[in-house]
Chain A
């Protein structure tokens, strides 16, 4: 993990002294550690946590120490000993009322400083919309997609006409490194929560309300992220990835992705991508009822946009890494891989058995796999 390794001496002291939780995690390169930060938002939180944890550790040692000392010191008095009947001492009371109050004031000041820094929204930040659905994330990059024909615009003032459509992805959020990103958080059904532990703290996605979260990825990488608010049956399987690319690489990704995908290659798993495309676009097979693929007749709005599916990091909102084999498993056994998922409520086990042959599924996999964006993949963090 390189330069960001946390000092392990500090960590061992923490661990030895019962506040080890924080540090044990800090010395690690664990995929979702909140202490191993690569984004400014998460880093400032870490930098606030450290002094608070030290103060907490000091209080812990003093108070538990006093407790243990008192118990050990006065436990073996002879039976019948009558201790001095002390009822209190106002000076002492005032002292130990003020002491915690002072600590609290210090923590408050530190807290408010970090709050101010982490709630900044620079005007030049890249704007992205993230929309939570049961149980996947949709990402929209306003006016980054295909060029629109001004003739199609219905607005009375031509200046208000967008020049480009939204660029849309699902389960993978692409951002540039080093530039602030403001994510506009929304929810389509119930509450969700947007959490990329290594980049930023959580923020709710609330139906009927818009939230904003601004952060800057400080290094290129693929970051794990989850929905952190319980949102129903498959909440545990609602994950996503944030892919932070160097600016040039990001620009290349946008330029490629805004062009409608075409079939490339001869197909994986012995499937025929062209036949797969026909199957996909055949309304009988229900794919296009929910899904979009740019530049085709698939214009559903309920499910994730599947353009450039072959470049996805994961399948079914992060439940397994992307590979043609896993995709085949997902299409065959979705109902048991992700219980409750909305697609399997329609495409049940029986429906699949009755309507799709194994070869059909291989063809569909070949088609979805054939749409790829060509970029250098950054390291998984």
Chain B
């Protein structure tokens, strides 16, 4: 046994595989844990940038007829804010947490495709950087994150902004689809012996559902974006109504992706609180199967409701009625989840840690977002509320009050596992209450101004509409939210250096990731665990309180003879990063198709890098050397 465990702050390197030190080690890493950290750090940086964009908009809207921002820059900001928060902040934060935690939860040594995993994280970052490069290349996209046709066509959007939006997101789209396939294969194939789907932690369940949603939803966006790219660069007319194209087609394609995307953002977070609530209640999740399958139901129904974003488009009362009915139906599995979470806490022994507070805050705010969603799902009511600030309120209750509060719950929960140190609880609780109050001060008034007729996406408004006061209140609230995020950043930096050592299992939790050191060794598990129940670690610690609905867990005799496999770890490689850089270079070449010499040289350079990386990648697999831990 060559692996030393339990040393806070530095993981032991496996003896047979050389991991470069410092930055080189991070750039060439194929370790799911390091990749997860890169995902989360990058997502956090984009979250801060998206937040700054929001603050600028709130300053502009704080008073009527304000001239702080020009109209065009304001339009760039709301486009980038939406795009950033969805594609570059919340999604990758979920993916990063999943990357780090899922293999540990299922008793695996890594993701199924470690090099593909590295490619995904680099493509996500490069896609985000490419999108942001547009600010320095003639202006960021300014047509809204939904990019409705035909405003996106060259005559109406002559800058390169739309092209940066298309190509940057295509890169992140490749990352997402590759990542989703990686999750599916990992979760379906690499679970520890005995860890049947029926015993799988709910966080892993939700990551699996999300991976499937991604694989089915993202291609619709990719197709739409490529068609739009061809419209703008190569003379096709998919979305040009005056030449036989169809502007509504874009909306169908976009929302066929766009609505499932909402569940891509929220389901992993539902998975997070399905872990934190039982842990901090010292009880098993109430109704495990109902919580898991309501997640599956939400994922499935999510594909049948896209046109509720299009009630005003004129699809006809019958079509609207169908999509309204399907949208209402989603309230049922969502309600089931909420009731089960409350029942999990009921009669429990609650420990109100920061993570638990955020989990409870998530439920409380998500209920409000769900209820305002009911009114929006009713087509007649939607016709008054859509495209007004009511929708802005609704979506932020779901995506901030839901996703981001839930992500804070997950970050406070797993930070000790990732870093080996505890986040400061007192700072955390102050930050939680500041966040809860300021979040509501910011977004609740938007229900009111929306109902009072304030449209979305306007950079200015008249005084005397009854909107002045609430807009000012929202602006004040947004800066308090920023203060809360700064407090978290402070907590993060202080705790990384001086936080209390976490130990393996600081929360007295139930799942496998808490059975290994914090941070875990490179190979995760010295011995692949054999799982007998839904709460392997809990049952190990509290055998007298073990078991599930079907009685106490009995060792499966077939598992007793399980032969430990040799530890097989992939070697570090730069090829995924090179491939990402090559693809990005190629995409720049496509973007500047109107300048042939530049375009062709970029495309050739990009393709050469891609080819180089693929050849190297194929050879990489021969370098992997298994080493024995016994």
Which A residues fall within an 8 A CB radius of B?
A: 18, 20-22, 24-26, 28, 30-35, 42, 44-45, 48-49, 52-53, 56, 59-60, 63-64, 66-68, 70-71, 74-75, 77, 81-89, 92-93, 96-97, 99-101, 103-104, 107-108, 110-112, 114-116, 118-119, 134, 185, 189-191, 193, 195, 197, 200-204, 206-209, 211-212, 224, 226-237, 339-340
- A67 and B364 within 8 A (CB): yes
Closest to A191 in B: B148
Q: Is B447 an interface residue (CB 8 A)?
A: yes
- A87 and B286 within 8 A (CB): yes
Contacting B317 at CB < 8 Å: which of A67, A116, A231? A116
Q: How far is the CB of B336 from chain A (nearest CB, A)?
A: 6
B242, B371, B388 pick with most chain A CB within 10 angstroms: B371
Q: Collect the chain B residues with CB atoms within 8 Å of residue A203's CB.
A: 312, 314, 383
Closest to A229 in B: B387
B340, B343, B450 pick with most chain A CB within 10 angstroms: B343
Q: Collect the chain A residues with CB atoms within 8 Å of residue B457's CB.
A: 230, 235-236
- B324 and A189 within 8 A (CB): no
- A34 and B451 within 8 A (CB): yes
Closest to A319 in B: B462
Contacting B386 at CB < 8 Å: which of A74, A77, A134, A202? A202
- B71 and A32 within 8 A (CB): no
Q: Collect the chain B residues with CB atoms within 8 Å of residue A81's CB.
A: 282, 349
Query: Shortest 8 CB-CB distances between A and B: which pairs?
Result: A201-B383, A32-B453, A208-B241, A21-B447, A236-B458, A30-B466, A100-B335, A211-B314
Q: Collect the chain B residues with CB atoms within 8 Å of residue A71's CB.
A: 345, 350, 352, 360
- A75 and B312 within 8 A (CB): no
In whole angstroms, how far apart are the Cα atoms of A64 and B314 in the complex? 37
Given contacts A49-B384, A119-B317, could you give 12 more A-B pairs where the C-beta distance is less than 8 Å? A31-B466, A44-B380, A45-B383, A74-B345, A82-B542, A100-B331, A111-B381, A112-B321, A115-B380, A116-B317, A118-B380, A228-B455
- B336 and A74 within 8 A (CB): no
Q: How far is the CB of B136 from chain A (nearest CB, A)?
A: 21
Q: How far is the CB of A95 from chain B (nearest CB, A)?
A: 9
When each residue 285-316 of chain B gets 1 if its CB lies under 8 Å from chain A and 0 otherwise, what string results?
A: 01111100000000000000000000011100
Known: A74-B345, A202-B386. A209 touches B314 (CB 8 A): yes
9 contacts between A and B (CB under 8 A): A45-B384, A48-B380, A63-B367, A85-B284, A85-B545, A100-B336, A200-B383, A201-B380, A207-B247
- B335 and A87 within 8 A (CB): no
In whole angstroms, how far apart are the Cα atoms of A92 and B287 in the complex? 9
Could you tell me how many residues of chain B have their Cβ less than 8 Å away from some Cβ of chain A?
Answer: 99
- A83 and B387 within 8 A (CB): no
Known: A70-B345, A204-B314. A111 touches B378 (CB 8 A): yes
When each residue 489-500 of chain B gets 1 if its CB lies under 8 Å from chain A and 0 otherwise, what string results?
A: 000000000000
- A208 and B247 within 8 A (CB): yes
Closest to A21 in B: B447
Q: Collect the chain B residues with CB atoms within 8 Å of residue A87's CB.
A: 284, 286-288, 548-549
- A339 and B72 within 8 A (CB): yes
Q: Is B235 an interface residue (CB 8 A)?
A: no
Q: How far is the CB of A98 from chain B (nearest CB, A)?
A: 9
In whole angstroms, how far apart are the Cα atoms of A85 and B548 in the complex? 8
Closest to B320 in A: A115
Closest to B156 in A: A190
In whole angstroms, how far apart are the Cα atoms of A134 and B331 in the complex? 39
In whole angstroms, how far apart are the Cα atoms of A103 and B142 in the complex? 41
Closest to B546 in A: A85
Closest to B389 in A: A21
- A45 and B380 within 8 A (CB): yes
Closest to A336 in B: B67
In whole angstroms, how far apart are the Cα atoms of A108 and B338 in the complex? 22
Closest to A114 in B: B380
Q: Collect the chain A residues with CB atoms within 8 Å of residue B360's CB.
A: 67, 71
- B313 and A204 within 8 A (CB): yes
Q: Collect the chain A residues with CB atoms within 8 Å of residue B393's CB.
A: 21
Q: Is B593 an interface residue (CB 8 A)?
A: no
- B342 and A70 within 8 A (CB): yes
- A233 and B71 within 8 A (CB): yes
- B150 and A207 within 8 A (CB): yes
- B156 and A232 within 8 A (CB): yes
- A204 and B286 within 8 A (CB): no
Closest to A47 in B: B380
In whole angstroms, how far apart are the Cα atoms of A272 and B378 in the complex? 56
Which B residues fall within an 8 A CB radius of A?
A: 70-72, 75, 142-144, 148-151, 156, 241-242, 245-248, 281-284, 286-290, 312-314, 317, 320-321, 324-325, 328-329, 331-332, 335-336, 338-340, 342-343, 345-350, 352, 360, 363-364, 367-368, 371-372, 374-375, 378-388, 390, 393, 444-445, 447-448, 450-461, 464-466, 542, 545, 547-549
In whole angstroms, how far apart are the Cα atoms of A353 and B466 in the complex? 39
In whole angstroms, how far apart are the Cα atoms of A66 and B284 in the complex? 19
Q: Collect the chain A residues with CB atoms within 8 Å of residue B148's CB.
A: 190-191, 229-230
Closest to A212 in B: B314
Contacting A67 at CB < 8 Å: which of B142, B245, B363, B452? B363
In whole angstroms, how far apart are the Cα atoms of A352 and B447 in the complex? 44
Q: How far is the CB of A351 from chain B (nearest CB, A)?
A: 21
In whole angstroms, how far apart are the Cα atoms of A227 and B453 in the complex? 12
Q: Collect the chain A residues with CB atoms within 8 Å of residue B144's CB.
A: 230
Closest to A230 in B: B457
In whole angstroms, how far apart are the Cα atoms of A112 and B385 in the complex? 17
- A25 and B286 within 8 A (CB): no
In whole angstroms, how far apart are the Cα atoms of A94 and B516 in the complex? 38
In whole angstroms, how far apart are the Cα atoms of A379 and B75 in the complex? 35
In whole angstroms, how far apart are the Cα atoms of A231 and B151 in the complex? 7
Closest to B466 in A: A30
In whole angstroms, how far apart are the Cα atoms of A201 and B350 in the complex? 47
- B331 and A34 within 8 A (CB): no
Q: How far is the CB of B293 from chain A (nearest CB, A)?
A: 10
In whole angstroms, how far apart are the Cα atoms of A31 and B345 in the complex? 46
Q: How far is the CB of A122 from chain B (nearest CB, A)?
A: 16
In whole angstroms, how far apart are the Cα atoms of A338 and B383 in the complex? 28
Closest to B444 in A: A21
Q: How far is the CB of B395 from chain A (nearest CB, A)?
A: 15
Q: Collect the chain A residues with CB atoms within 8 Å of residue B390's CB.
A: 21
Closest to B352 in A: A75
In whole angstroms, how far apart are the Cα atoms of A30 and B348 in the complex? 48
In whole angstroms, how far apart are the Cα atoms of A28 and B465 in the complex? 11
In whole angstroms, how far apart are the Cα atoms of A363 and B532 in the complex? 91
Q: Collect the chain B residues with CB atoms within 8 Å of residue A85's CB.
A: 283-284, 545, 547
Q: Collect the chain B residues with CB atoms within 8 Å of residue A49's CB.
A: 375, 381, 384
- B286 and A86 within 8 A (CB): yes
- B381 and A20 within 8 A (CB): no
In whole angstroms, how far apart are the Cα atoms of A200 and B381 in the complex? 10
A49, A206, A224 pick with most chain B CB within 10 angstroms: A206
In whole angstroms, how far apart are the Cα atoms of A30 and B245 in the complex? 41
- A82 and B448 within 8 A (CB): no
Closest to B535 in A: A85
In whole angstroms, how far apart are the Cα atoms of A310 and B374 in the complex? 46
Q: How far is the CB of A282 from chain B (nearest CB, A)?
A: 30
Q: Collect the chain A residues with CB atoms within 8 Å of residue B381's CB.
A: 45, 48-49, 52, 111
In whole angstroms, how far apart are the Cα atoms of A200 and B328 in the complex? 23
In whole angstroms, how far apart are the Cα atoms of A227 and B539 in the complex? 61
Contacting A197 at CB < 8 Å: which of B282, B287, B453? B453
Q: Collect the chain B residues with CB atoms within 8 Å of residue A34's CB.
A: 384-385, 388, 451-453
Closest to B148 in A: A191
Known: A107-B374, A189-B156. A202 touches B384 (CB 8 A): yes
In whole angstroms, how far apart are the Cα atoms of A340 and B72 in the complex? 9
Closest to A68 in B: B364
- B375 and A104 within 8 A (CB): no
In whole angstroms, how far apart are the Cα atoms of A118 and B312 in the complex? 13
In whole angstroms, how far apart are the Cα atoms of A227 and B367 in the complex? 31
Closest to A118 in B: B380
In whole angstroms, how far apart are the Cα atoms of A53 and B385 in the complex? 13
Q: Collect the chain A residues with CB atoms within 8 Å of residue B156's CB.
A: 134, 189-190, 232
- A83 and B72 within 8 A (CB): no
In whole angstroms, how far apart are the Cα atoms of A64 and B368 in the complex? 9
